[in-house]
C-alpha cells in the first residue's frame, strides 16, 4: 500500500472518531448489509424463474435462464436485441456508470490535458470506496485518468475528470443526463460520475447497452477498456509508482473467452454485481449487460449469453438476399448518355447493410417496411426488417455511385417480367432531347422552304409583269404595224 493510501485511511479513521464524538445522535445514510451467501444463492435461483422477453417471440431461439435480475444481449453495430430479460427495469448501475463518464471525457478533452485533483474530488467519497490513492492538488494527464477510471475503477479520478470537463460534479451529471437522452435512454438518471449509490442514480440494461454501444464506437476507449492492468509511473505531479489490475475476469483472461473487446465491472451493496462486456466473433460484435447478479456468476452468465448469441444468430447481407423490390423495369430510376441500354441506376441498395437473424430463419420469412424519413445526405429511404415483430436490422437505399449495385425498387415484380432476357433500359431524358432536336430541324426546314417558296413566287410575279409591259410596248410601237398581221387568224 502506498503512503498516500495510508494517509487517507488514517484521516478517515480520525474523521469518523471526531464525528461520533461530537455528533453521537446524528443520523447518516448507510448501505443495506449484503446478503449472506445462502441468501444470495436463494435470490439468484428465484431470479432465474423471471420471464425472458425474447423467448416470447415466435420461433426465436430460446435464451438461457440466468440469475441476473436484468440482462440484454445487443449487436453493437445494428442495435438488434438478441436476448432481453427485464431490459427496461430501473436498477442501480454502480461503477458501470463510468462508461458514460469516459465518453464525455473523450468527447470534451485531449489526452495530454492535465487534470488536477481538488479537495472535493478526493474527500467527498464514501470511505473505503474504490480509489488509487491520488491526493488533493496532485495531477495526472487525461489519458492516465481514463486508465484510472476504466482499469482501476477509481472514484476520485472520476470526480476529478467530471470537474475538469464541466466545472463541477453536478454540472457534469447534467451533461451525463443530456448525453443519455441523446443516445435514446428512457430509464436513466445520473447523479454522479462514479456510480456510488444514490436512490436517484439509476439506469436499465437496455439503456446501459445503448451507452456501451456509444462507448465501443471509440477505438481509444475500447483499447483502454480492454486493458488487463496498467502501470502508473511517478511524475512531478503524482509521485507514486504502482500497478492496478482490472477486476473484469473476461478481460484479464481468468475466464478465457475468444474475441473480448472490453468492458466494465460494477458493485455496490444495493446494485449487487453489474457487468458490461463486448465481444466479437463471426462478424458479429455483441454487447452483453447483466445487472443485479451475485459474484462470480455475472461473468459466467455473460459467457452463457455470448455463447447463445454467437451460436444461434448470423450476419446476413441484405443486398445479396433482397428479392421483394425490383428496379430493372423502372426506367425512371436510370440515367445515362446511351439510348441503347447502357444506362446506370440512380438508386442503389447499400451493400454494407446487414441483418442479425436466427440461423433457423430464411430471408423470405422477414417482413419489411420502407421509410423515407431520413436526413442523411445520400440516403433516399430506409428499409426496416422484422421477424415476427422483432427488429433484425436496417438497409438503406442510397444515391448510387459508379460502383454501386442496382437497387430493386418495384415491389412484387411478376415472374414472367423478372425472367425477360436482354431488357433494354431506355433513357427518357435523351429520347426527349432527340425528339425535340428532330422537331426543331423539321420546323427549321419548313420555315426555310416557305421562305424560298415566297421568294420564288415574288420573283416570278415581277418577271411576268415585266413581260406583260414589254409585250404591250411591242404591240403599240413602230416596229409592229397592224398590217403585218393581217394574214394571221388569231
**pLDDT at residue 237 greater than cutoff 50:** yes
268 and 389 both lie in a single domain = no
264 and 372 both lie in a single domain = no
| Res 484: pLDDT | 41
Question: Binning pLDDT at 50, 70 and 90, where does residue 393 land?
Answer: very high
What is the pLDDT averaged over residues 5-15? 43
452 and 391 both lie in a single domain = no
Q: Which of 16-30, 155-169, 209-223, 330-344 has the lowest mean pLDDT?
A: 16-30
173 and 276 both lie in a single domain = yes
Query: Is residue 397 in some structural domain?
Result: yes
Q: Would residue 247 show up in a list of annotated catalytic residues for this protein?
A: no
Q: Say which of 70, 85, 98, 348 is annotated catalytic.
A: 98
* Cβ atoms < 10 Å from Cβ of 121: 24
123 and 245 both lie in a single domain = yes
CATH of residue 177: 3.40.710.10
230 and 83 both lie in a single domain = yes
Q: Which residues are annotated as a binding site for substrate?
A: 264
pLDDT in tens, 183-229: 999 999 999 999 999 999 999 999 999 999 999 999 999 999 999 99
Q: What is the end-to-end Cα distance of the chain in Å, rounded?
A: 149
Cell output for 259: 474475441
Q: d(Cα 415, Cα 329) in Å, to the nearest integer? A: 12
How many separate domains does the chain show?
A: 3
| Res 447: pLDDT | 80
Q: Would residue 124 show up in a list of annotated catalytic residues for this protein?
A: no
Task: Report the residue count for the chain.
Answer: 490
Containing structural domain, residue 369 = 325-426
Write the secondary structure of the chain as one string of H (helix), E (strand) and C (coil): CCHHHHHHHHHHHHHHHHHHHHCCCCCCCCCCCCCCHHHHHHHHHHHHCCCCHHHHCCCCCCCCCCCCCEEEEEECCCCCEEEEECCCCCECCHHHHHHHHHHHHHHCCCCCCEEECCHHHHHCCCCCCCCCCCCCCCEEEHHHHHHHHHCCCCHHHHHHHHHHHHCCHHHHHHHHHHHHHHCCCCCCECCCCCCCCCCCCEECHHHHHHHHHHHCCCHHHHHHHCCCEEEECCCCCCCCCEEEECCCHHHHCCCCCCCEEEEEEEEECCCEEEEEEEEEECCEEEEEEEEEECCCHHHHHHHHHHHHHHHHEEEEECCCCCCCEECCCCHHHEECCCCCCCCEECEEECCCCEEEEECCCCHHHCEEEEECCCCCCCEEEEEEEEECCEEEEEEEEEECCCCCCCCCCEECCCHHHHCCCCCCCCCHHHHHHHHHHHHHHHHHHHHHHHHHHHHHHHHHHHHHHHHHHHHHHHHHCCCCCHHHHCCCCC
What are the angstrom distances between the C-alpha of 269 and each of 16, 63, 332? Answer: 21, 28, 65
Cell output for 300: 459466467
Question: Binning pLDDT at 50, 70 and 90, where does residue 275 land?
Answer: very high
**pLDDT at residue 143 greater than cutoff 60:** yes
Question: Binning pLDDT at 50, 70 and 90, where does residue 430 land?
Answer: low
Q: d(Cα 209, Cα 79) in Å, to the nearest integer? A: 9
Q: What percent of the chain stands above pLDDT 90?
A: 62
Cell output for 245: 489490475
Contacts of 220 (CB under 8 A, 6+ apart): 106, 111, 146
Select from 350, 340, 327 the least CA-distant residue to 417: 327
Of residues 28 and 293, more confidence is placed in: 293
Query: Is residue 14 in some structural domain?
Result: no
Cell output for 28: 447518516
**pLDDT at residue 53 greater than cutoff 90:** yes
101 and 147 both lie in a single domain = yes
Q: d(Cα 330, Cα 204) in Å, to the nearest integer? A: 47
Cell output for 383: 428499409
pLDDT in tens, 311-362: 999 999 998 998 776 454 344 344 444 444 555 667 788 889 999 999 999 9
In terms of C-beta distances under 8 Å and separation of at least 24 residues, what long-range contacts does 213-217 make, across chains too? 213/74, 213/76, 213/79, 213/183, 213/287, 214/103, 214/183, 215/99, 215/100, 215/102, 215/103, 216/76, 216/261, 216/262, 216/278, 216/285, 216/287, 217/76
167 and 299 both lie in a single domain = yes
Of residues 379 and 264, more confidence is placed in: 264
What is the pLDDT averaged over residues 96-113? 98
Contacts of 362 (CB under 8 A, 6+ apart): none
| Res 469: pLDDT | 59
Question: Binning pLDDT at 50, 70 and 90, where does residue 83 land?
Answer: very high
| Res 453: pLDDT | 74
Q: Say which of 95, 130, 204, 326 is annotated catalytic.
A: 95
Query: Is residue 25 in some structural domain?
Result: no
456 and 414 both lie in a single domain = no
Question: Binning pLDDT at 50, 70 and 90, where does residue 122 land?
Answer: very high
Phi (first) and psi of residue 367, to 5 degrees: -100, 150
Quote the mean pLDDT of the chain: 83
Query: Is residue 263 in some structural domain?
Result: yes
**pLDDT at residue 482 greater than cutoff 60:** no
308 and 352 both lie in a single domain = no
Query: Is residue 272 in some structural domain?
Result: yes
pLDDT in tens, 401-428: 655 444 454 444 444 444 444 444 445 5
What are the angstrom distances between the C-alpha of 133 and each of 97, 202, 258, 331? Answer: 20, 27, 34, 71
281 and 354 both lie in a single domain = no
Residue with cell 404595224: 481
**pLDDT at residue 149 greater than cutoff 60:** yes
Q: Say which of 70, 85, 130, 153 is annotated catalytic.
A: 153
Query: Is residue 72 in some structural domain?
Result: yes
Furthest C-alpha separation in the chain: 168
Q: d(Cα 218, Cα 294) in Å, to the nearest integer? A: 30
Query: Is residue 5 in some structural domain?
Result: no
Query: Is residue 162 in some structural domain?
Result: yes
Q: By the 8 A CB rule, do 325 and 407 touch?
A: yes
244 and 100 both lie in a single domain = yes
Q: Would residue 85 show up in a list of annotated catalytic residues for this protein?
A: no
Amino acid at each position: 500500500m502506498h503512503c498516500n493510501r495510508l494517509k487517507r485511511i488514517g484521516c478517515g479513521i480520525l474523521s469518523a472518531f471526531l464525528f461520533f464524538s461530537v455528533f453521537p445522535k446524528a443520523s447518516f445514510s448507510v448501505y443495506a448489509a449484503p446478503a449472506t451467501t445462502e441468501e444470495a444463492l436463494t435470490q439468484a435461483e428465484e431470479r432465474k424463474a423471471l420471464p425472458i422477453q425474447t423467448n416470447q417471440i415466435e420461433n426465436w431461439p430460446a435464451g438461457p435462464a440466468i440469475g441476473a435480475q436484468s440482462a440484454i444481449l445487443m449487436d453493437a453495430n445494428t442495435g438488434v436485441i438478441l436476448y432481453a430479460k427485464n431490459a427496461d427495469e430501473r436498477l442501480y448501475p454502480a461503477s458501470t456508470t463510468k462508461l458514460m463518464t469516459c465518453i464525455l471525457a473523450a468527447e470534451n478533452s485531449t489526452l495530454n490535458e492535465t487534470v488536477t485533483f481538488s479537495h472535493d474530488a478526493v474527500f467527498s467519497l464514501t470511505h473505503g470506496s474504490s480509489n488509487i490513492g491520488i491526493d488533493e492538488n496532485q495531477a495526472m494527464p487525461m489519458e492516465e485518468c481514463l486508465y484510472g477510471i476504466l482499469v482501476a475503477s477509481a472514484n476520485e479520478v472520476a470526480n476529478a475528470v467530471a470537474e475538469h470537463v464541466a466545472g463541477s460534479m453536478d454540472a457534469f451529471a447534467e451533461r451525463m443526463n443530456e448525453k443519455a437522452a441523446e443516445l435514446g435512454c428512457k430509464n436513466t438518471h445520473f447523479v454522479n460520475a462514479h456510480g456510488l449509490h444514490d436512490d436517484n442514480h439509476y439506469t436499465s440494461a437496455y439503456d446501459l447497452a445503448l451507452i456501451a454501444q456509444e462507448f465501443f464506437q471509440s477505438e481509444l476507449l475500447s483499447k483502454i477498456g480492454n486493458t488487463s492492468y496498467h502501470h502508473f509511473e511517478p511524475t512531478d505531479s503524482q509521485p507514486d509508482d504502482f500497478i492496478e489490475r482490472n477486476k473484469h475476469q473476461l478481460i484479464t483472461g481468468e475466464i478465457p473467452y475468444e474475441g473480448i473487446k472490453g468492458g466494465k465491472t460494477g458493485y455496490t451493496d444495493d446494485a449487487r454485481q453489474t457487468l458490461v462486456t463486448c465481444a466479437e466473433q463471426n462478424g458479429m460484435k455483441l454487447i452483453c449487460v447483466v445487472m443485479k447478479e451475485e459474484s462470480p456468476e455475472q461473468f459466467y452468465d455473460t459467457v452463457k449469453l455470448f455463447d447463445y448469441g454467437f451460436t444461434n444468430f448470423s450476419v446476413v447481407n441484405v443486398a445479396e438476399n433482397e428479392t421483394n423490390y425490383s428496379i430493372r423495369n423502372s426506367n425512371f430510376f436510370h440515367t445515362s448518355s446511351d439510348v441503347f441500354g447502357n444506362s446506370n441506376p440512380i438508386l442503389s441498395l447499400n451493400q454494407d447493410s446487414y441483418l442479425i437473424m436466427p440461423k433457423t430463419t430464411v430471408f423470405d420469412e422477414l417482413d419489411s417496411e420502407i421509410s423515407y424519413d431520413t436526413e442523411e445526405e445520400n440516403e433516399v429511404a430506409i428499409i426496416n426488417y422484422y421477424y415476427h415483430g422483432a427488429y433484425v436490422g436496417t438497409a438503406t437505399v442510397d444515391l448510387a455511385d459508379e460502383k454501386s449495385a442496382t437497387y430493386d425498387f418495384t415491389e412484387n415484380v411478376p415472374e414472367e417480367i423478372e425472367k425477360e432476357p436482354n431488357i433494354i433500359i431506355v433513357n427518357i431524358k435523351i429520347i426527349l432531347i432527340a425528339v425535340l432536336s428532330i422537331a426543331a430541324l423539321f420546323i427549321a426546314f419548313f420555315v426555310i422552304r416557305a421562305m424560298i417558296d415566297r421568294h420564288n413566287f415574288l420573283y416570278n410575279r415581277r418577271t411576268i409583269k415585266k413581260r406583260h409591259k414589254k409585250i404591250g410596248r411591242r404591240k403599240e410601237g413602230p416596229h409592229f404595224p397592224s398590217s403585218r398581221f393581217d394574214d394571221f387568224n388569231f
